[in-house]
């Protein structure tokens, strides 16, 4: 039986061949488009030679321009693709450290004017509320401090394991306890989220050290509650790992470690540079085809008559680019991304020495991997989908898709889990 180990470094030659398929398939489509144009408009023929010969002899400059333009865009995508994608998905960079949420709360508290002259009954109510909130969030009860200051402010310091809540005298005297409870809960949520982010950074640093690469930047999709992740970067010194907020909040430490290791594996295997270039190439030709089609059809019937055969030529070439961007290139891209997921799973298991953690994480991710940003109908963020650990798109599966499985950007979770179980010695009898 094929295990996940068998996918490690087994597709290098295949990947190189697939990359070469992009310009080859593009040239074939453009050749077919020109062939159709010459059939539709015989007056464009230069001589009586076969159409294929005429295209090769007299339209070579057109192919050369297409190759040069795609090459320039490939270079731009390679060097600037990471920043483009991070801006597209509105990823927010997580700072390495925070001055507000630190373990060193004592030094901060030394400068505060603490007082005990607030009515005791209200203080007891606040402490009860604080205890209930802490119990609900599953954290130790924070220390409560009162600052003798005429300002409506609540402040939380420290970490979720050792934090302090500071209320001002004016705040306690102005608001009722239920409102104070809401404000305290909000501050504690900030601490918990910040703690999760710091934990993610620590995990990323540890995994990077184990893998022998510089620590990538960490980005978070703040508004995404779905569970997903992906990585970008052209090399180990210029890369980033992107996690959704839902992933950080819902996975435990070992599961989060396995997912981060999976994304670091993509960086190690150079998948990120490949997928960035492929993704932006697809977007470029799709958009170019859209522009050509729209320009050929705009202006109404009279303008199309006046433009004559020129509009038809532009339309056919635009359709060729559009077909390339939406059909041919995605099929090549999917072939790359689907096998790469097995490789990254294997590397994650090797880096963490814990295949079960990734199995558990994949099961949770499979329940809701949807990323709303990638499903917006007003942008092309869906092009980033193959880079994610699991497909983040809402797919309407047709009968053709179900039979061919061509629309799947990732191998089935079940097969990935089976391969990981073989690594863990659970399926040796199969």
Which residues are catalytic, by number?
263
HSE-CB for 396 with a 13 A CA cutoff: 1
User: What's the full length of the chain, in residues?
Assistant: 430
**CA geometry: angle 289, 411, 265, nearest 5 deg:** 90
User: CB burial class (10 A; 0-12, 13-18, 19+) of residue 12?
Assistant: exposed
Nearest residue to 372 (alpha-carbon basis) of 364, 382, 361, 387: 382
Q: What's the distance, Cα to Cα, between the start and end of the chain in Å?
A: 7
The span from the CA of 383 to the CA of 89, in Å, is 11
Tell me if 219 sits within 8 A of 93, measured CB to CB.
yes
**What is the crossing angle of helices 309-323 and 300-307, to 10°?**
100
Tell me if 232 sits within 8 A of 242, measured CB to CB.
yes
User: CB burial class (10 A; 0-12, 13-18, 19+) of residue 265?
Assistant: buried
Q: Which residues pair with 245 in a beta bridge?
A: none
Reading across the β-sheet that carries 92-93, which strands appear in turn?
92-93, 217-221, 238-244, 229-235
């Amino acid at each position: 039986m094929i295990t996940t180990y068998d996918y490690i470094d087994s597709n290098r030659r295949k990947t190189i061949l697939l990359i070469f398929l992009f310009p080859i398939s593009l040239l074939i489509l453009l050749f077919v488009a020109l062939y159709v144009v010459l059939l539709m408009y015989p007056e464009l023929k230069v001589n009586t030679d076969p159409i294929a010969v005429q295209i090769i002899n007299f339209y070579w400059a057109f192919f050369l321009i297409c190759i040069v333009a795609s090459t320039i865009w490939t270079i731009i995508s390679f060097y600037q693709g990471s920043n483009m994608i991070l801006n597209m998905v509105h990823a927010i960079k997580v700072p390495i450290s925070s001055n507000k949420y630190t373990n060193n709360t004592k030094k901060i508290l030394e400068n505060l004017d603490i007082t005990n002259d607030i009515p005791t009954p209200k203080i007891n109510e606040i402490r009860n509320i604080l205890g209930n909130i802490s119990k609900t969030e599953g954290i130790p009860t924070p220390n409560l401090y009162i600052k003798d200051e005429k300002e409506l402010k609540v402040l939380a310091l420290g970490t979720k394991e050792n934090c302090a809540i500071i209320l001002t005298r004016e705040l306690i005297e102005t608001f009722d306890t239920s409102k104070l409870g809401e404000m305290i809960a909000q501050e504690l949520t900030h601490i918990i989220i910040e703690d999760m982010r710091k934990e993610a950074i620590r995990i990323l640093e540890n995994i990077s050290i184990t893998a022998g690469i510089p620590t990538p930047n960490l980005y978070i999709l703040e508004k995404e509650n779905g569970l997903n992740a992906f990585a970008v970067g052209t090399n180990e010194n210029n890369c980033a790992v992107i996690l959704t907020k839902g992933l950080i909040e819902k996975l435990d430490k070992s599961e989060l470690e396995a997912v981060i290791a999976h994304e670091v594996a993509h960086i190690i295997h150079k998948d990120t540079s490949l997928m960035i270039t492929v993704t932006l190439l697809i977007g470029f030709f799709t958009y170019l085809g859209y522009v050509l089609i729209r320009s050929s059809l705009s202006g109404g019937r009279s303008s199309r008559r006046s433009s004559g055969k020129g509009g038809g030529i532009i339309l056919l070439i635009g359709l060729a680019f559009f077909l390339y961007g939406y059909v041919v290139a995605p099929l090549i891209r999917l072939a790359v991304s689907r096998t790469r997921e097995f490789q990254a799973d294997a590397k994650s298991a090797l880096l963490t020495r814990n295949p079960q953690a990734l199995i558990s994480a994949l099961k949770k991710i499979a329940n809701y991997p949807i990323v709303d940003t990638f499903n917006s109908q007003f942008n092309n963020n869906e092009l980033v989908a193959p880079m994610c650990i699991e497909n983040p798109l809402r797919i309407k599966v047709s009968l053709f898709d179900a039979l061919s499985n061509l629309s799947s950007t990732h191998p089935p979770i079940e097969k990935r889990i089976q391969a990981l179980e073989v690594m863990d010695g659970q399926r040796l009898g199969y």
